């Protein structure tokens, strides 16, 4: 696995930027408001923060500016790990001299907070290497190297060619899905979009099971899939046991919270299917994938379903999901695809 030291990426530019950013008297801004932004502000004097959202006028005792209020050419460190490309594009549009926090922290002499993914790679390098060694094709290895390098550097060149195709995100050719007789488990069914894609691609399916814990989303899925036969709806999220939990909901996702969310039902796939068939399982369940796999163990052992498991909600998903699947059934082939130019939309496939 070829992982590039972030200190070697754009080295001359990054070193020059850090020197100028550390100089006394220079106007310097931190783009974003998060733990990385605070780490910079705690270690040096800055002019202020830049934020595209929110109404707050100050943060950590410093003024908050809109991008249009900051002079062109200003030294700016971007701190977003989710919308890093959008932040870089916006910085370029406003003429800022820009560097992402991942490279800034790698080159800076300050005791800054390490980037989460970089710290995890350092601590678990052997587990990443093990996943890489299991990958079954060149494209899997290429995508895996690119996204790991991106997550420790946020250098856009690593992911610029990884296009997002929502229709085909889970329907890879190597899965060899059949037009006839498939039983599709859509865990994290949201509004039924993925189930509809599956139904249209494999019209002679045996059954589709849509699992979605949020009632509003389930109603949308039921409306969308009403024209189709043999579609079964389960108003529950997948987990390792049957229980209730509190979920926080946003426009396109929901996740288990410690409190303050909507109460929802969780259950195991083994309980829901009661020994029934599954030939293809997709999971996009906002970080509960490992627990859901534990609750799917009997189904996996019995039917050896092909699986597409989202692997980007938690820092350790790449190796914990792989380890969990192979602890249940150790003869799966492992594939990997990354389907966007950001840190999201990584999928592990098992067949």
pLDDT at position 255 over 80: no
- H helix or E strand, kind and range, residue 270: helix 269-273
Q: Is 120 part of any domain? A: no
DSSP string, 169-230: SS--GGG---SBS-EEEEET-TTSHHHHHHHHHSTB-SEEEEE-S-HHHHHHHHHHTTTSSS
pLDDT at position 195 over 80: yes
The pTM of this model reads: 0.91
Q: How many CB atoms lie within 10 A of CB 205?
A: 24
Q: How confident is the model at residue 336 (pLDDT cuts 50, 70, 90)?
A: very high
Domain's final residue, options 56, 82, 113: 113
Q: Is 1 part of any domain? A: no
Q: In the predicted model, what is the mean pLDDT of residues 259-270?
A: 86
Q: In the predicted model, what is the mean pLDDT of residues 186-198?
A: 97
Instruction: Note whether 279 and 181 are within 8 A (CB).
Output: yes
At residue 249, the pLDDT reads 60
- Tell me: do 108 and 129 sit in the same domain: no
CA distances to 29, 86, 115, 124, 196 from 78, in Å: 9, 10, 13, 26, 38
Looking at beta carbons, which pairs linking 250-258 to residues 24 or more positions away fall under 8 Å?
Answer: 252/190, 253/286, 254/213, 254/214, 254/217, 254/286, 255/286, 255/287, 255/288, 255/313, 256/286, 256/287, 256/288
Q: Is 214 part of any domain? A: yes
pLDDT at position 19 over 90: yes
At residue 279, the pLDDT reads 98
Q: In the predicted model, what is the mean pLDDT of residues 133-140?
A: 98
Residue scoring higher pLDDT (25 or 253): 25
Q: How confident is the model at residue 165 (pLDDT cuts 50, 70, 90)?
A: confident
pLDDT at position 256 over 70: no
pLDDT per residue over 30-80, tens digit each? 999 999 999 999 999 999 999 998 889 999 999 999 999 999 999 999 998
142, 148, 150, 154: CA torsion to nearest 10: 180
Residue 77 is part of which domain span?
A: 6-113
For 231, half-sphere exposure in the C-beta direction (CA atoms, 13 angstrom radius) is 22
- Tell me: do 292 and 182 sit in the same domain: yes
- Tell me: do 92 and 151 sit in the same domain: no
Domain's final residue, options 81, 113, 145: 113
pLDDT at position 26 over 90: no
Q: Is 296 part of any domain? A: yes
Q: In the predicted model, what is the mean pLDDT of residues 138-143?
A: 97
Three-state secondary structure call for residue 119: helix
Q: In the predicted model, what is the mean pLDDT of residues 287-302?
A: 97
- Tell me: do 169 and 83 sit in the same domain: no
Instruction: Note whether 227 and 242 are within 8 A (CB).
Output: no
Spatial distance between the Cα atoms of 225 and 205, rounded to a whole number of angstroms:
14
Q: Is 219 part of any domain? A: yes
- Tell me: do 103 and 135 sit in the same domain: no
- Tell me: do 166 and 60 sit in the same domain: no
Q: How many CB atoms lie within 10 A of CB 165?
A: 10
Q: Is 260 part of any domain? A: yes
Pairing of strands 62-65, 58-59: antiparallel
At residue 327, the pLDDT reads 98
Cα 61 from chain centroid (whole Å): 32
pLDDT per residue over 82-105, tens digit each? 878 888 899 999 999 999 999 999
**CATH number assigned to the domain comprising residue 313:** 3.40.50.150
pLDDT at position 124 over 90: yes
Q: Is 307 part of any domain? A: yes
**Range of lowest pLDDT (6-10, 36-40, 331-335):** 6-10
Domain's final residue, options 113, 142, 163: 113
- Six-digit token pair at 337? 């695809």
- Six-digit token pair at 191? 């509004």
pLDDT at position 221 over 70: yes
Domain count, the chain: 2
Q: In the predicted model, what is the mean pLDDT of residues 241-267?
A: 74
Spatial distance between the Cα atoms of 335 and 343, rounded to a whole number of angstroms:
18
Spatial distance between the Cα atoms of 224 and 279, rounded to a whole number of angstroms:
23
Buried b (16+ CB within 10 A) or exposed e, 64-96: bbebeebeeebbbbbbbbebbbebbebbeebeb
pLDDT at position 257 over 80: no
Three-state secondary structure call for residue 105: helix
At residue 188, the pLDDT reads 95
Mean pLDDT over each residue of the chain, to the nearest integer: 93
Q: Is 119 part of any domain? A: no
């Amino acid at each position: 696995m070829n992982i590039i030291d972030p200190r070697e990426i754009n080295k001359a530019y990054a070193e020059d930027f850090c020197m100028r950013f550390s100089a006394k008297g220079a106007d310097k801004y931190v783009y974003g408001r998060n733990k990385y932004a605070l780490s910079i502000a705690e270690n040096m004097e800055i002019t202020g923060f830049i934020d595209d959202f929110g109404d707050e006028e100050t943060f950590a005792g410093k003024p908050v500016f809109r991008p249009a209020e900051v002079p062109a050419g200003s030294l700016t460190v971007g701190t977003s790990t989710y919308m890093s490309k959008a932040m870089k594009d916006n910085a370029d549009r406003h003429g800022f001299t820009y560097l992402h926090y991942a490279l800034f922290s790698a080159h800076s002499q300050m005791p800054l907070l390490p980037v989460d993914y970089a710290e995890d790679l350092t601590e678990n390098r052997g587990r990443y290497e093990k996943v890489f060694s299991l990958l079954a094709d060149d494209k899997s290895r290429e995508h895996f190297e690119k996204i790991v390098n991106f997550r420790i550097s946020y250098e856009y060149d690593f992911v610029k060619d990884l296009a997002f195709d929502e229709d085909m995100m889970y329907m890879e050719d190597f899965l060899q899905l059949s037009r006839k007789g498939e039983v599709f488990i859509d865990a994290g069914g949201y509004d039924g979009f993925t189930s509809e894609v599956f139904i249209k691609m494999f019209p002679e399916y045996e059954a589709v099971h849509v699992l979605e814990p949020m009632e509003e989303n389930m109603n949308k899925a039921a409306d969308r899939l009403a024209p189709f036969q043999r579609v079964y709806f389960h108003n529950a999220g997948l987990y390792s046991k049957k229980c209730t939990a509190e979920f926080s909901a946003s426009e396109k996702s929901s996740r288990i919270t410690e409190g303050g969310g909507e109460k929802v039902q969780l259950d195991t796939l083994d309980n829901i299917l009661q020994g029934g068939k599954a030939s293809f399982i997709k999971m996009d369940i906002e970080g509960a994938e490992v627990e859901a796999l534990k609750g799917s163990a009997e189904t996996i052992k019995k039917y050896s379903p092909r699986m597409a498991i989202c692997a980007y909600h938690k820092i350790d998903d790449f190796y914990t999901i792989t380890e969990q699947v192979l602890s249940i059934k150790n003869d799966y082939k492992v594939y990997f695809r990354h389907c966007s130019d950001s840190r999201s939309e990584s999928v592990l496939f098992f067949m």
